Amino acid sequence: MDDPVETPEKPAGKFADLWVRIASAVAMSAIGAIVFWKGGDYVAALLVIVGGLMAWEFRRLILPDASNKDMGLWVMVAGTSGAVVAANLFGFWLAFPIVALAAAILWQIKHKRPLWISAGMIYLATPLAALLVIREDMGLGPVLWLVGVVIASDVGGYFAGRMLGGPKFWPAISPKKTWSGTAGGWALALVYGVFYKLVMGADITVLDAMLYSVLLAMAAQAGDLFESWLKRKAGIKDASNLIPGHGGLLDRFDGLLAATSLFMLLHLLGAL
C-alpha cells in the first residue's frame, strides 16, 4: 500500500500515477479472477510462477549486490515454488519440508545470509500455499473476501492519505504513510466486510465480518511496513520493476502475503 507523497504544489499531482496504477491493477485483477475462478492446477501454476518471482525479488532485498547466477537465488526460487507444488499435491503442511530441504542446502553450501533467505522462503511459501489451500478447501468466496479486504485497505489508505494527509504513521520506516491513510484503510476494509456478509451471503455474522476484516487489513498494513523496512535497509525504492506503476510483485502483494498468513492461522484455530 502506498500512502501520500508530499507534493503540495498541485492537487492533480497527488494522483499523477493513478491511471498507470489502475491499468496495471485491472490487468492483474483480470488474470487473477480467471485463474482463481477456474481453480485447481490453474491456481497452483500461477502461484508457482509468482512464488519464483517473489523469491527473486526477496533475495534482491537481502543481497542487493548479488548476481543472478548466485546459487542461493536458485535454491530460494526452487524452495518457494517447490513448496507450492507440494501443497498442491499433498496438502498445506507438506510445503514446509521442501522449505526445510532448501534451507539445509543453503547452510551446506555456506551461502551468504542463509538464515535470512530461509526465513524469506517461509515468509513467501506459507501464504502462497495457504492461498492455494483456501481456494481448494474453502471455495472462491473466502478468497474474494481476503483479496477484497486487502484491496479495500490499499484503496482506502491511498485516497484518505493523499486527500487528508496529516501526521506520519512511522516515518523512520515508511515516510509517506500517514495515520489518516492507515485509518482510511481500516474503514474501507470494514465496509467491505459488511458487503461480504450482506451482499455475498457469507456464512459469518456481520460483527465477525467487520472484526476480521479490520484485523486482516491491519495484517496487510503490517506486511507493507515490513517490506518497506527491507527496502530501506537495502537502499532500493522497489523490489523490482515488473509491474508498471506498482514496482514489483512484493511491492504490490506484500499486504496480501501477511493477510493470507493471518487468515490461515485463524482458520487453523477454528475462528474462520
pLDDT tens by residue, 111-132? 888 899 999 999 999 999 999 9
Which pLDDT score, from 0 to 100, does residue 2 have?
47
Same domain as 223, residue 184? yes
Top pLDDT among 26 and 87 is at 87
Same domain as 151, residue 121? no
Cα–Cα distance for residue pair 159/14, rounded to 1 Å: 10
Alpha helices in the chain (DSSP H): 18-38, 41-62, 71-90, 95-108, 114-138, 140-164, 179-198, 206-234, 249-268
Same domain as 134, residue 205? no
For helices 249-268 and 114-138, what crossing angle results, to 10°? 60
Same domain as 237, residue 123? no
Cα–Cα distance for residue pair 125/98, rounded to 1 Å: 10
Top pLDDT among 96 and 162 is at 96
Domain count, the chain: 2
Q: Determine, yes or no, domain membership for 33.
A: no
Q: Look up residue 173 and give its DSSP letter.
A: T
pLDDT per residue over 234-253, tens digit each?
A: 888 888 888 876 789 999 89
Same domain as 166, residue 90? no
Cα–Cα distance for residue pair 27/194, rounded to 1 Å: 27
Three cell numbers at 257?
Answer: 502475503
Same domain as 143, residue 265? yes
Strand-pair partners of 174: 170
Same domain as 129, residue 179? no
Same domain as 173, residue 122? no
Lowest-pLDDT range of 145-159, 210-224, 235-249: 235-249
Strand-pair partners of 243: 247
Domain range for 52 is 39-138
